Amino acid sequence: MKRPPCVLTIAGSDSGAGAGIQADSRTIHALGGYALTAITAITAQNTRGISAWRATPSSLIAAQITAVLQDFPVRALKTGLLPGANAMRVVATALESHPRLPLVVDPVIGSTSGTRFLSASGIRTLAKTLLPRATLVTPNWPEAEALTGIRIKTFDAAELAAHRLLETGCQAVLVKGGHGPGPVCRDCLVTKSGRVRWFESPRVTTRNTHGTGCVLSAAIAMGLAHGKSVEDATAGAHAFLIRCLNSGRKVSFGAGGGPAFIR
């Protein structure tokens, strides 16, 4: 039996399983991988929002990452919720001895329901510590605004923000277009070589978009673990997310509606 590629996700736990570690793990397994985890925070949440959350001690975050990397043949990494500057620093330090492992950074600043996880100081630390190490950074429009200071109301501004984020030293940026206007959702991928590619699809109207960024970034990490290029991994992950969103329209787990559902 062929051993599945191992992917380590460093993110928060979602008790409603719509996002975070749970969504990442489901995605990785659905795409033929083996999910390893380092939990950065514990949240009490459901389809309607977050009622409480607490950060994992930074030393324990580092210990989880070290334990996994010392024993498993990890092929790719991804980060999600990193609750503060100290967490980012310990993650960056823990990854220093593995510079060739592809890293997808999903810069989670707040939840879909409005809970804020990062201060302005935390955002600056993210840009200085982890973005330079990233193979790909996957912000949505509000996250790209917070990281660049560029006001994003148009797709042209989204592309400009992607180019600005490349200045942090990352290899590529995918500015997700879920917050954009119109019936077509447009994600902008810009690579260090200067190549720009737009991924377009009809907008899928759902009651709950909670966790879509987690699914997309985890799926891209799986593509990289399989040896795909950033562009090919992103294309495959984009198609996978659309299938999940369409499945989610038919499933409702709670009062807030079903999140992206992975079959």
Q: For 67-76, what is each residue's pLDDT tens digit?
A: 999 999 999 9
Per-residue tokens: 216:
């997309």
Q: CA 205 from chain center: how many Å?
A: 21
Q: Which 3 state secondary structure label does DSSP give 196?
A: strand
Task: Say what the pLDDT of residue 245 is.
Answer: 85
Asked if the model's pLDDT at residue 82 lies above 70, the reply is yes
Catalytic residue among 209, 234, 244, 257: 209
242: exposed, middle or buried (C-beta count within 10 Å: 0-12, 13-18, 19+)?
Answer: middle
Per-residue tokens: 168:
């942090």
Catalytic residue among 16, 33, 213, 248: 213
Spatial distance between the Cα atoms of 55 and 134, rounded to a whole number of angstroms: 23
Asked if the model's pLDDT at residue 116 lies above 90, the reply is no
Mean pLDDT on 229-248: 92
Per-residue tokens: 172:
């590529």
Task: Say what the pLDDT of residue 57 is.
Answer: 97
Spatial contact of 93 and 62, defined as CB atoms under 8 Å apart = yes
pLDDT-based confidence at residue 247 (cuts at 50, 70, 90): confident
Spatial contact of 72 and 101, defined as CB atoms under 8 Å apart = no
Catalytic residue among 84, 211, 257, 258: 211
Class of the domain covering 6-248: alpha beta
Q: How many CB atoms lie within 10 A of CB 183?
A: 7
pTM above 0.85, yes or no: yes
pLDDT-based confidence at residue 249 (cuts at 50, 70, 90): low
pLDDT-based confidence at residue 117 (cuts at 50, 70, 90): confident
Q: What proportion of the chain, given as a percentage, has pLDDT over 90? A: 76
210: exposed, middle or buried (C-beta count within 10 Å: 0-12, 13-18, 19+)?
Answer: buried
| Residue-range domain boundaries for the chain | 6-248
How would DSSP label each residue in 59-101?
Answer: HHHHHHHHHHHHHS-EEEEEE----SHHHHHHHHHHHTT-TTS
Catalytic residue among 214, 244, 256, 258: 214
Give catalytic status of residue 212 as yes or no: yes
> Which tens digit of pLDDT belongs to each residue from 33-54?
999 999 999 999 988 889 999 9
Catalytic residue among 112, 176, 248, 258: 176
Asked if the model's pLDDT at residue 263 lies above 70, the reply is no
Catalytic residue among 188, 212, 223, 258: 212
Give catalytic status of residue 211 as yes or no: yes
Task: Say what the pLDDT of residue 65 is.
Answer: 98
Mean pLDDT on 7-27: 95
Give catalytic status of residue 47 as yes or no: no
